[in-house]
Structures are given as C-alpha cells and as structure tokens.
Amino acid sequence: MRVTRGEKLADDEDRPRGLLSPADRRYLNFSHEERLDEYTRPARRKREDAIEERLNHGVIDLDFLTRTIDQAQIDLDDVFTTGKSPGVDFPRIQMSIPGALRLLIRGILADERNRQIKGYGFGYDFSDELRPVTNQFETSIEQWLIAQQQIIGDVELEVSVDNRRTVESLIEELEARQTAVGGEERDKKNEILECAGIGEEKRQDLLGEDPSNDGVEPAESSYSTEELAALPIEGLGELLQRGVITLDAHTAALEKKLENNDS
C-alpha cells in the first residue's frame, strides 16, 4: 500500500478516479490563463458541465451510501482510519475531511446569497447566517444517532466564533512585520491565507523566507513512535496541526498503528 504524508501532493492528477477524474483535476489545477490556452471555449464548458454533474451525483451518492453500505463488505474503518485496503490513502483522508465539510457548507449556503456575514465586533451572533448549515448538521447527527446508536433525540448546535478578524487585517499585519514568520505560527497563517485564496507567491511574500530553511534541524518530537501509535487518529491529527509532532512522526505513527492492528 502506498502511504503518503497527507499534504497536498503534486500527483493529484495521477490519483485514481474519485468524485473527480484525473482529467477534471488537471483542468482545475490550471490557472484561468492556462485554461484559455489549453482548451477551446466549447471544451471548457463541456468540462465544467461534467464536473458540476459529478459533484451533484457525488453528494447524492454519499447519501445513497449511508443507506446501502452496510449491506456490502465495505468497512469504513478501512477507508477513514486503518487503511488496510490496498489503494486507500488513509493519512491524507484524515487531513482532507475539513476541506470536504467546507465544500458542503458552501453547497448548503449556495442558494443563500443574501445571507451575508454582517459584522465582526465582539458579541456578534453568527447563528442566523449559519442557521441553514446547523439545521443540516443537526438533522445529520439525529439520523446518525438513530441508525448507528438506536437513539432518538433532538440535536441543537450552537455556533461560537472567538478571536474574529478580517483576512485584510492579517495581510496588513504581515506587510508591516519586519521579520519572517516561522514555526507553528507560519503554518497556521499560511493555511489561513491559502484558505482565503491567496496565491503561493503572495503568501511567501507576506510570510518571508522560512527560518527553518536556514540549515537548522527541526526539534525532535518528545513522543516515541510507540506512544504516538497508541493515540487515537484524531489525537495524532491535533498534535500535527499544533506543530507538536512533525509530518514524518505523524506518518510513522500511522504506519505503526497498521502494524499493531495486523499483529
């Protein structure tokens, strides 16, 4: 089984077909100018129509799976945690779940174009703007409780957003900064900027040259591979996101988990 480290990889176009085909990913990886050079207008429209159709049926298929997957020999543990099945990229799927949910949130709000975030000040309540999202998630959790736990209940989610600021204010802060950003702070700010649609070249400009590239080796994790392998998958992901462990340590722990499960 090929194990990747979970980061965004250059071989996206080589991955097997999922919701998108390799040709779809190649098209989406192009910049707007590259698409104009590579594709005629009818070819662009045909490709975009196909992607929209696949997205539509992909979401419907997820719902279809919830009703049928237990009737077949398909183990969700193999897909989301242990990665025992050949071809399953289990480290990466864990890191892809937030992005997948983000796309679903955009889809839920797609017909709510007038429902804009109207304020950022202390005490501002986002509940109204996000009510269509929380409604759907509440329903999903209620259905999961019934189907998987045989429990009937009313679920109510509350939205609380702390430390709010605009991306523009972060960019202004970075432009005024005299020193490069490093370590965990760099990873977090880079993720925010990327999520906001800031291109790689602009992000590097704002963050400065990575201090970790000056020949100094990163600090070793204080956890042994055995200790990390004993942690749940979610705990490993949290340690990685907080910069407590390196990507190599995260991958080694997942591989050790596989060995332990097979023994």
Q: Which comes out higher in pLDDT, residue 213 or 80?
A: 80
pLDDT (average), residues 167-177: 88
Q: What is the pLDDT of residue 241?
A: 66
- Measured over the CA atoms of residue 143, residue 145, residue 147 and residue 151, the dihedral's sign is negative
pLDDT (average), residues 247-252: 80
Tokens standing for residue 207? 């963050």
Band (179; pLDDT cuts 50, 70, 90)? confident
* Percent of the chain clearing pLDDT 90 (strictly above): 34
Using one digit for the tens of pLDDT, what is the confidence trace for 74-125? 888 878 877 666 777 777 788 888 899 999 999 998 877 655 555 555 455 6
Mean pLDDT over each residue of the chain, to the nearest integer: 81
Q: Which comes out higher in pLDDT, residue 96 or 143?
A: 143
Q: What is the pLDDT of residue 31?
A: 87
Quote the DSSP letter at residue 262: H
User: Among the residues of the chain, which ranges form H helices?
Assistant: 22-29, 32-38, 41-68, 76-80, 90-108, 127-149, 167-176, 183-195, 200-207, 225-229, 233-241, 247-262
Q: What is the pLDDT of residue 164?
A: 75
Domain ranges of the chain: 121-164
Q: Which comes out higher in pLDDT, residue 120 or 194?
A: 194
What contacts 153, CB < 8 A, 6 or more positions away? 142, 145
Taking alpha carbons only, the member of 220, 218, 237 closest to residue 253 is 237
What is the crossing angle of helices 90-108 and 127-149, to 10°? 130
Q: What is the pLDDT of residue 143?
A: 95
